[in-house]
A and B are shown apart, each in its own frame.
Chain A
Amino acid sequence: MTAIDPTAHLTAEQIEELGRELDAIRDEVIAGRGEKDAAYIRKVISAQRKLELVSRGVLLFSIFPPAWLLGTAGLSVAKIMDNMEIGHNVLHGQWDWMRDPKIHSTTWEWDHVSPSDQWKHSHNELHHTYTNVIGKDNDLGYGIMRVDEDQKWHPMHLGQPLWNFINACFFEYGIAAYDLELGKNLSKRRRKNPEFRARAKAVGRKIRKQVLKDYVIHPLLSGPSFLPTLGATFTANLVRNIWSHSVIMCGHFPEGVQVFERRSIKGETRGQWYLRQMMGSANISGSKAMHFMTGNLSHQIEHHLFPDLPSNRYAEVAVKVRALFEKYELEYVTGPLPKQVFSAWRKVFRLSLPNKKPGVRTPDRERELVAA
C-alpha cells in the first residue's frame, strides 16, 4: 500500500515459489533440531539463574559502591536474558518440542509484570499473525504513536516523542497495559466486562509480586544496604526496560519497513504472508554477543518468518533468508543498533507532525542520506 510498492516486480507465482523456498529452510531446521539445541537453552537458563543469584547476593552488600555497580550490572544482564533470549523465545513455543514441562510455553512465567498468558495472546497471536497491518497490529506504535505516514494524524501525536521516552523507561508496565488493551477497555461499559476484570486482576497480582520482590523483600534482606539495593533493582529494571524497548523498536519502526492495509491481507496465501513478514521487519547487525543480548530479535526478519524455530538457529537461517532477499530483489532492512535506533526515533519525531503533503512519503533519496 506504500506509494512505491517494493514488491511490485514479483509475480504471484514467484511469491508462491518464495514461500516454498522458505518452507524448505524451516523444514531443514526442524529436521535438524536436537540435543545441541536442547543443551543450548538449558545452559542459557542455568547461566541466567546463576547470574541473578550471584548479583542479588552481591547486592546484599551494595552499601559499598563497587558491590553496587557489580550487582546492578549483573542483575541488569540477568533481567535482560530472562526477558529476551529466554522468556520471549520460550513463550513463542520455540522449545516446546523438547517436551520438558519446565521449559514450555504453557508453563513458563517471566520476570515481567505482564503475565505470560496475556502476553502470548497479544504478541504471538495478534502481532505475529497481523504483522504491520494498520488497525490489526497494535505493535505498530503500540496504539499510542503514529509510526507510518498512512496512519491518521491526531493532535495527540504531537506528544509522542515524550510518550515513547516514558514508555521506554517503564516498558514492562507499558506492555502490561498494552496486553490488557487498557486504552480500549477503560470505557465505562468495558471496564465492567468480567473477562477484562479477571485479566486486570491477574496483572495486578503479578505487579504486586514483582514489586514486592524487587523493591521490598530484597532490599529488606540487605539490611543496612536497603536503599542501595532498592536503587540497584530500580536501575536494573530501568536498564532492562530501555534496552528491550530499543531492541523491539528496531524490529518494525526503522525507515524502509513497510506497513499494510487491512484489505491487503484478505485471502492472503502462505507466500504472501511470508512476503509481508519479510517487508514488515528489520534486523540489527552486530556481534554474537549483540544477537544474544537482543534475544536474537536482532534477527527480527527471520524470527517473523519462523517465530517457532529455536532462537539459536536464526543466525544460520539468516544467511539463507538474506540470499532469498537478493534473489527476489527485495530490500533487507538491517544496520547496527545505534543506526536502527536513531532511524526509529527519527520516525517517531517526524510523524508526531502531520504529513507534509497528504499521501507523499519520504523520498528514497532522503532515506539513503539518513542511512549514510
Chain B
Amino acid sequence: MVTTPLLPSDYLDLVSPLRAGADLRGRIEAVHPETDDAATIVIRPGRGWRGHTAGQYVRIGVDVDGVRLWRAYSLTSPTHRRDGRVTITVKAIPDGKVSNHLVRRARPGTLIQLDQPTGDFVLPPAKPAKVLYLTAGSGITPVMGMLRDTRFDDVVMVHCAPRPQDVIFRDELHGLVGEKKLRLTEVHTDTDGMLDIARLDELVPDWTERETWACGPAGLLDAAEKQWSEYGVPERLHTERFRPSVVVAGDGGEVTFSATGRTAAADGATPLLDVGEEAGVLMPSGCRMGICFGCITPLKSGAVRDLRTGEITEAEPGVLIQTCVSAAAGPCDIER
C-alpha cells in the first residue's frame, strides 16, 4: 500500500539487486579468456541462489544491444567455491548473439538475470569405481564442472577439438594428467579426423566397465548411444545434448494455437491475427495496424516475420509478438 502501484522490491532493487528475496540475478565479476573464442565468466549470484550439482546448467538472461536474451550454459565451477561465485564457460559460436557478447564484450559489473540451476546430467551419489568422460568442443563444460567437483580414483577422458589450441581448459587438464589424477586422450579432428566411436576400444579398452558421461554434438552422442546399447550397457551412459534452437525462417507454415489446440496453414503474407480468427480462435485484437499493442501474444516456438519491416523474430521464452503485423515464417506455435 505504501508504494502502490509499485512494489517495495521495485525500490529495493535500485540499491540491492542481489539481495535475498529479489528476483534472482547475478553480477559478472570477471571474464577470463580460455581460447580464441571461449571465455569463463565469473558470476556472483544473488542471495536467492540455491546452489548447483556438478554437471548442471543455468539459464541466464543477458541484455545484448538492449534486448534481453536467454541462453543456457553449463556451470564449470565446483559446487562449493569458498567465495560463493560460480562460473560458466562460453564458446562463441558463429552468429551467436549471446555467446559472442559474453566472450568478447561482457564487462565486470554487469548485472544479468539468472534462473536456478537445473539438469540431470549429474554425478550419482555413490562413487563409481571407474569413470569415462567423452566430450567434444564445448561439450567439455559440464564435465569440467564434474572434474573440478569430485575426484575419482580412475578417470579417463576422451576429448575432441579441431586443434590443440581449441581445447578449452587445456592447461588445467594437463595439470591433472601431470598429477596422475586423469588419463586424457585429445583427438584433434583437424588432423586426426572425427572420432570413430566403433574404435573406442583402441583408446579406452575397458570402456564398457566405466560409468560414462558424454557431451558434444548430436552425431557423437547418437553414435555413443547406439554403441552402448549394442554392448548391452546403456545404463552406464549419461548424455547431455545442447540444443541450439535452429529456426529456418521460411515463408508461411503451419501455425499451432497451443492454448486451444487448433492448427491452421498460414502463408507468409497473412497476419497471424487473421489466421487465428479464420481458424476460430478467440484472438485479442485492437488497431490491426501495429500501433496499439493490444494483440500481443506469446510465441512459443518457430519464427514470425514483421510484415512492415521484414524483421524475423524467433521464439524464445518471454517473447511476445504483435499478431496483427506478424506472419508465419515457417511453422510456429502461438499461445492462444
Listed from nearest, the 9 A-B pairs whose CB atoms lie closest are A38-B66, A93-B293, A109-B5, A124-B292, A125-B292, A125-B286, A129-B287, A34-B65, A99-B68
Q: A120 touches which one: B66, B293, B309 (CB < 8 A)?
A: B293
Q: B1-37: which residues lie under 8 A (CB-CB) from chain A?
A: 1-6, 10-11, 14
Q: A308 touches which one: B65, B67, B290 (CB < 8 A)?
A: B290
Does A98 interact with chain B (Cβ within 8 Å)? yes
Residues of A close to B4: CB separation below 8 A:
209-210, 212-213
Given contacts A49-B10, A308-B291, contact A98 B63 (CB under 8 A): yes
> Contact at A34–B66, with CB atoms within 8 Å?
yes
Query: Complex Cα distance A102/B6, Å?
Result: 11
> Contact at B319–A99, with CB atoms within 8 Å?
yes
Residues of A close to B291: CB separation below 8 A:
124, 128-129, 307-308
Query: Complex Cα distance A176/B259, Å?
Result: 32
27 A–B contacts, CB within 8 A, in A order? A27-B308, A30-B309, A33-B66, A36-B66, A49-B6, A93-B296, A96-B296, A98-B63, A99-B316, A101-B318, A105-B293, A109-B5, A109-B6, A110-B5, A120-B294, A121-B294, A124-B286, A124-B287, A124-B292, A125-B286, A125-B292, A128-B292, A129-B286, A210-B5, A213-B3, A217-B1, A307-B291
> Contact at A97–B320, with CB atoms within 8 Å?
no
Does A92 interact with chain B (Cβ within 8 Å)? yes
Since A30-B311, A35-B66 are in contact, a sample of 10 more A-B pairs with Cβ atoms closer than 8 Å, ordered by chain A residue number, is: A49-B14, A97-B66, A99-B68, A105-B296, A121-B286, A128-B292, A129-B289, A129-B291, A209-B5, A308-B290
B1, B65, B292: most-surrounded residue (chain A CB, <10 A): B292
Interface contacts (Cβ under 8 Å), in number, total 99
Does B69 interact with chain A (Cβ within 8 Å)? yes
Interface of A with B (CB < 8 Å)?
23, 26-27, 30, 33-39, 46, 49-50, 53, 92-93, 96-102, 105-106, 109-111, 120-121, 124-125, 128-129, 206, 209-210, 212-213, 217-218, 221, 273, 307-308
What size tier do the contact residues of chain B reach?
A: 20 to 34
> Contact at A50–B14, with CB atoms within 8 Å?
yes
Query: Complex Cα distance A258/B197, Å?
Result: 76
Q: B67 touches which one: A27, A98, A124 (CB < 8 A)?
A: A98
Q: Nearest B residue to A103 by beta-carbon distance?
A: B68
> Contact at A96–B293, with CB atoms within 8 Å?
yes
Query: Complex Cα distance A367/B134, Å?
Result: 82
Q: Nearest B residue to A37 by beta-carbon distance?
A: B66
Q: B289 touches which one: A53, A210, A273 (CB < 8 A)?
A: A273
> Contact at A129–B292, with CB atoms within 8 Å?
yes
Residues of A close to B296: CB separation below 8 A:
93, 96, 105-106
Query: Complex Cα distance A102/B14, Å?
Result: 13
Given contacts A49-B10, A106-B320, A124-B286, contact A35 B65 (CB under 8 A): yes
Query: Complex Cα distance A30/B38, Å?
Result: 31
Residues of A close to B320: CB separation below 8 A:
96, 106
Minimum C-beta distance from B27 to chain A (A): 16
Interface 0/1 of B262-289, CB less than 8 Å to A: 0000000000000000000000001101
Q: Nearest B residue to A109 by beta-carbon distance?
A: B5
Minimum C-beta distance from B39 to chain A (A): 20
Residues of B close to A111: CB separation below 8 A:
5
Residues of A close to B319: CB separation below 8 A:
99
